[in-house]
Homo-oligomer: A and B are copies of this chain.
Amino acid sequence: MDKQSIHRLSTRQPDFETRLDTLLDWESVSSAEIQQSVDRIIADVRSRGDAAVIDLTRQFDRLDVQDMSALTLTAERLEQAWQGLPEAQRQALAVAGDRIRAYHERQKPEPWSYQEADGTMLGQKVTPLDRAGVYVPGGKAAYPSSVLMNVIPAHVAGVEDIVMVVPTPDGVLNELVLAAAHVAGVARVFTIGGAQAVAALAYGTETIPKVDKIVGPGNIFVATAKRAVFGQVGIDMIAGPSEILVVSDGGTDPDWLAMDLFSQAEHDEDAQAILISWDAEHLEAVAESIERLLPTLERAEIVRESLSRRGALILVEDEAQALSLINRIAPEHLELSVEEPQRLVEHVRHAGAIFMGRYTAEALGDYCAGPNHVLPTSGTARFSSPLGVYDFQKRSSLIQCSPQGASTLGQTASVLARGESLTAHARSAENRIGSHKD
C-alpha cells in the first residue's frame, strides 16, 4: 500500500500490469447464504403475495403495517412532496428533468420497412413495454437524480405504466426522491424494497402489478434477486461500484482534477477514481492538490478510503498509451480533460459516457447535462450501453411474402430444412412454391 492517499503507477514499472489488474479487480459475488435467502424470499412472495411482502417489510424495514395501502403512495402524495420543496430545488429538478427528456427524445428509433422487387416486404416494428418497474434504493444511496434517470427514458419510450418501489426503513420518507418521482411522471409508488420488492414486481401480487422489466440499482440482495428473476422479466445491468477515468494533458487546473476524482470517490469506499497523464509534473501537482483539499471534504473519510483502496494516478508515455489504457479499462465515466478531446474520442472504443474538455465535469452529467447517468460499470462498457429509451422498447420483425416471393424463398428454405432433417419445415415452405391460390 502506498503511503500517500492514492496509488501511484507508471507504465514504466516492471510490475505495472499486475498492479493495474489488482487495482481494477472487482467481482460481485453473492454468497450461497445470500442466494438461499433471496430464493426463499422470492418463493414466499410468489406463494403468499401481499401477505409475504407485508411480513418481510415488517422484518427488514421495521414497518408494522396491516395492509398494502399503508405501503402505497399516490400521485397526490408525490405532488405534495414536490410542492413542499424550496424553490431552488424545484427549479433544479425541473431543469434537469427537461434536459434529460430532450436528450432521450433523440434516442427514439424509427420503425422501418422495405419492399423487394417481387413484392415481398421486410421490416422492423418498435413498441414500448407495457409496464416498467423502477427500483430506488432507500437509506444513504437514495438519490432523486437516479429517479429522473431511470424513469424518464421509460416515459419517453412510451411505457404507459411506471411503477416505482423504494424502501423506507423505519418509515422515513425522502421528500426529494418523491418530488423527483412526480417530475419524472411516476404514477404509483410502493414503499417496499429488497428482494421482496423485486419478487413482487417480477411475479405480481394482489396489489402490486407484474411488470415487464425491472431497472434501478440496489444492494447485494436486490442484485441477487434481479439476477434470479432475469428471464421472467427483463432487467438492466447489475451494477458494480461507480468509477471514473480522467485523462489530462496537463493543462487543466490540478485543483479541478482533484475535485473531479473526489466526486467519484465520495460515492462509497469501493468507488474508483483514476487519473492518467503523460505529464509527470502535472501528476505531482494533482497529488499535492489531493493532499491539500482532501481534509476539506464533508465525506473525507469515505474519499480517503476509496482512494487508498482503488484510486490511482498513472503516468503514461504518451497519448497513445493513454488511449490503450482507456480501451483496456472500458471505464463507466471517461473525462477527457485535454485541449482537443474530439481528436481523442475517435479512438475510444469502450466507455459508458465520455466527458469532453476541461469544462465538462462528470458531475454535470450526473445531474443535468441530459445523457443518462446509469452506465455500465467494471469494464462492462465493452458490451453494454447507458440506460436509454432502447431499454424500454423492443423490436418485432415483419415479413410479408408476395406469392412470387414465397415461391422463390420456398425453394431455398426447402433445401436448408431438409439439410437439417426438419421435413415439416420443408413441406410448409414447399406448400407455397408455385401455388398462387387465395
**Contact of A185 with B by CB under 8 A:** no
Question: Of A2-10, A55-63, A277-285, A354-362, which binds chain B?
Answer: A354-362
CB contact between A406 and one of B176, B234, B262, B364 (< 8 Å): that residue: B364
Q: Which residues of B contact A409 (CB under 8 A)?
A: 364, 367-369
Interface: A82 (CB within 8 A):
no
Q: Quick check: B89 and A122 within 8 Å, CB to CB?
A: no
**Beyond A367-B412, A412-B368, is A423–B231 a contact (Cβ under 8 Å)?**
no
Q: B394 to A360, Cβ gap below 8 A? A: no
Q: Which of B231, B256, B303, B376 contacts A238 (CB 8 A)?
A: B231
Contact: B251 with A399, CB < 8 Å?
no
The answer for the CA separation of A202 and B129 in the assembled complex, in Å, is 30
Which residues of A383-427 have CB atoms within 8 Å of chain B's CB atoms? 383-386, 388, 390, 394-403, 405-406, 409-410, 412-413, 415-417, 419-427
Question: Which of A73-81, A163-171, A315-323, A343-351 participates in binding chain B?
Answer: A343-351
Q: Does A207 contact B (CB under 8 A)?
A: no
A401–B359 contact, CB under 8 A? yes
Partner of A395, one of B232, B262, B342, B386: B386
B425 contacts A125, C-beta separation under 8 Å: no
Is A19 an interface residue when CB atoms closer than 8 A count as contact? no
CB under 8 Å from chain B, chain A span 210-230:
212-213, 227, 230
CA distance A263 to B296 in the complex (A): 71
CA distance A363 to B382 in the complex (A): 35
CA distance A124 to B410 in the complex (A): 41
Which residues of chain B have C-beta atoms less than 8 A from A262's C-beta?
424, 427-428
**CB atoms of B129 and A413 under 8 A apart:** no
Q: From the candidates B121, B263, B398, B423, name the one contacting A298 in the complex (CB within 8 A).
A: B423
Q: Is A241 at the interface (CB under 8 A from chain B)?
A: no
How many copies make up the complex?
Answer: 2
Pairwise interchain contact B361-A432, C-beta atoms closer than 8 A: yes
Task: Considering the complex, give the chain B residue whose CB is closest to the CB of A237.
Answer: B231
A42 CB to closest chain B CB, in angstroms?
12
Minimum CB–CB distance from A229 to chain B (whole Å) comes to 11
Q: Does A204 contact B (CB under 8 A)?
A: no
Contact of A83 with B by CB under 8 A? no
Interface of A is mostly: mixed
Q: Do A266 and B366 form a contact, CB below 8 Å, given A122-B103, A394-B384?
A: no
Query: CA–CA, A426 to B362, complex, Å?
Result: 11
Q: How far is the CA of A412 from the CA of B363 in the complex (A)?
A: 10
Contact A397 B368 (CB under 8 A): no
Q: Do the beta carbons of B354 and A412 come within 8 Å of each other?
A: no
Q: Is A12 an interface residue (CB 8 A)?
A: no
Query: A47 at interface (Cβ–Cβ under 8 A)?
Result: no
Query: Is the C-beta of A196 less than 8 angstroms from some C-beta in chain B?
Result: no
21 contacts between A and B (CB under 8 A): A28-B231, A92-B419, A109-B109, A120-B369, A125-B354, A130-B350, A230-B230, A259-B424, A266-B425, A350-B396, A353-B398, A356-B400, A357-B401, A363-B417, A363-B425, A363-B426, A364-B399, A364-B409, A367-B413, A382-B394, A385-B396
A residues sitting closer than 8 Å to B (CB atoms) are 27-28, 88-89, 91-93, 95-96, 103, 106-107, 109, 112, 114, 120-122, 124-125, 127, 129-130, 143-145, 176, 212-213, 227, 230-234, 237-238, 251, 253, 255-256, 259-260, 262-263, 265-267, 297-299, 303, 341-342, 345, 348-372, 375-376, 380-386, 388, 390, 394-403, 405-406, 409-410, 412-413, 415-417, 419-429, 431-432, 437-438
